[in-house]
Structure 1
Amino acid sequence: MEKTKNLLIDTCLLAGKIMMESGSEVYRVEDTMNRIAENANEPDSKSYVTATGIFMGLKSSHSTQIENVGERNINLEKVEAVNQLSREFAEKSVNLTTLYQQLKKIDKNTPEFPLSIQILSAAFLSAFLMILFGGSWLNFIPTLLIGGVGYSAKHLIKQSFDLRFFDTFLASLVIGLLAFAFTQTNLAVSFDYMCIGAVMPLVPGVAITASLRDTLAGHLVSGLVRGTEAIIVAAAIAIGIACVLSIFGGILT
């Protein structure tokens, strides 16, 4: 019996960890964990989730376990996969052991879009947002190229340096330098709009939204942590562009 309870806690913690690391809101994580426990005939479960750690305990057991939350990314496919497994467990389509094993597979093997598709998407997003913000169609191809190169630089730098926010800073620096180069060679006509469009794939929009939703739901610790993290990312983007402006600002004006 105690072994089953430990497996249940491990399962809930793993589900919560996957969801938190994939960008889910705190209230959704707690709800999923508590539903899994309830569907395993443990209605008196208690969970406490923050942006950096998860606590889980059962009132029928006098022990509480903790799971550390690692690096947080945005992967809504993982969130959906965990929710789907939770629903299947509620419908008794899978048992607790199978649920735990499937969650371990999701944590390690959930497929993502190929890097080439991600870069292409970032490139077209940059170009179309540049137009949306009022830029000229003359900047479309340059912004498309800059956005793709900037996103590629972020990915490569992240693989090479295990230093948070450094990849975002260098990627925005690359974007600023490329925008300056296109402007000076008369291949584009607006440094400002190209930079605005090209940095948009780097902007932590989902993190900001999740921070606000956590705060409004009363999860102040997680809301503040996520909000602070999003602000630092935004500052890294701004500093990267500001470095280019501080060096070449006289030429641009």
Structure 2
Amino acid sequence: MELKNVIDIALTAGEILLANGAETYRIEDTVVKICEAYGFTGECLSMSNGLLLSVEQSGVDKVTSMKKVNKKHVDLYRIELINSFSRQICEKSLSYEEAKKILDDIKKAPKFTLSVRIMAACMTGFIYTLFFNGSLLDGISSIIICLITYVILEKISELGFFQFLEFYLSGLLIGGGSILSEMLISSINKHNVITGAIMILLPGVVLTNGIKDILYGDFSSGVAKFFEAMIVIIAVSAGIGTSLIIYLKGM
């Protein structure tokens, strides 16, 4: 297979991994193994927002390519599909057309619908509210707040605002909704509702992957992921804190 085609396949696989929240070592290892499966020697550097790949073969000049990745989220299903794809290539080299078709299918793989994601968010808020000693009323209040917050967060994301503002407003909604719930029904504890509802916003996978990258020695990408998660946590905390301050000053 031609060198440019191998680079295209390897970088596309790496792009999907990076865009869907994979760890740095997994991205670099997958890209290099795909190159080796076609008889090329590759070196890959994964950064927080892009990939750098250098490939060479005996008697052929080294070629370096870059792929930038802007939109990122967490999708473990697509990561698993790429893992299976790389194992398939290592066992049996696929043609360029076959490999590209599989990668295109992975990119187009169905996502969970908005209604399913809203249901999962509401269930998460309800369970964690009960887990943190909340009452059944606290859990029901958390369901309503999670539903409203998740829908509004989706709409804000579509408008293209920067991430800090998105999560700040989401935290403000959770804090304000929890306070309003307690004001309407005195038996509801706003602190329990807040504790359960914020679980739908916390970037657990990103934070965990950042720590794993640091432990594996990938300090630049690990620190970037860690601080990305911290920015989200700070934004949510600031939003909730703002709503509580407004409430206390109005009392």
**Superposition TM-score tier, normalisation by shorter sequence:** over 0.9
| Matched residue, 1:39 | 37
User: Which of these residues, 40, 52, 55, is aligned with residue 55 of structure 1?
Assistant: 52
1:112 maps to: 111
In 2: Cα distance, 1:12 partner to 1:63 partner: 13
Measured in 2, the distance between the counterparts of 1:162 and 1:247 equals 24
Identity of aligned residues (%): 28
Cα distance in structure 1, aligned partners of 2:134 and 2:226: 30
- 1:219-230 residue pairs with structure 2 within 5 A? 219-230=218-229
Secondary structure at the aligned position of 2:12 is classed as helix
Which amino acid letter does the alignment assign opposite residue 5 of structure 1? L
Which range moved further: 109-118 or 155-164? 155-164
Unaligned runs of 5+ in 1: none
Q: CA deviation at 1:188?
A: 4.8
Task: State the TM-score, normalized to the length of structure 1.
Answer: 0.93
CA RMSD, Structure 1 to Structure 2 (Å): 1.6
Q: How many residues align?
A: 248
Which stretches in structure 2 are left out of the alignment for 5+ residues?
none
AA at the equivalent of 1:77? Y
Q: Matched residues in 1 for 2:101 and 2:54: separation? A: 20
CA distance in 1, matches of 2:189, 2:15: 44
DSSP-derived class of the 1:63 partner: strand
For the residue of structure 2 that corresponds to 1:134, the secondary structure is coil
Deviation of 1:71 (Å): 2.1
**TM-score for both structures, normalised by structure 2:** 0.94
**Structure 1 consecutive aligned stretches of length 4 or more whose deviation exceeds 4 Å:** none
In structure 1, what is the equivalent of residue 123 of structure 2?
A: 124
Q: Which residue of 2 aligns with 1:235?
A: 234
Quote how far apart the aligned CAs of 1:67 are.
Answer: 0.6
1:29 to 24, 27, 30: 27
Supply the AA of the counterpart residue of 1:9. Answer: I
Point out the more displaced range, 124-133 or 152-161. 152-161
- Answer with 190-199 or 157-166: which moved more: 157-166
C-alpha contact 2:176 2:244 (8 A) present in aligned 1: no
**CA offsets per residue over residues 38-68 of structure 1, 9 Å max, x none?**
11112x2111111112111113232200111
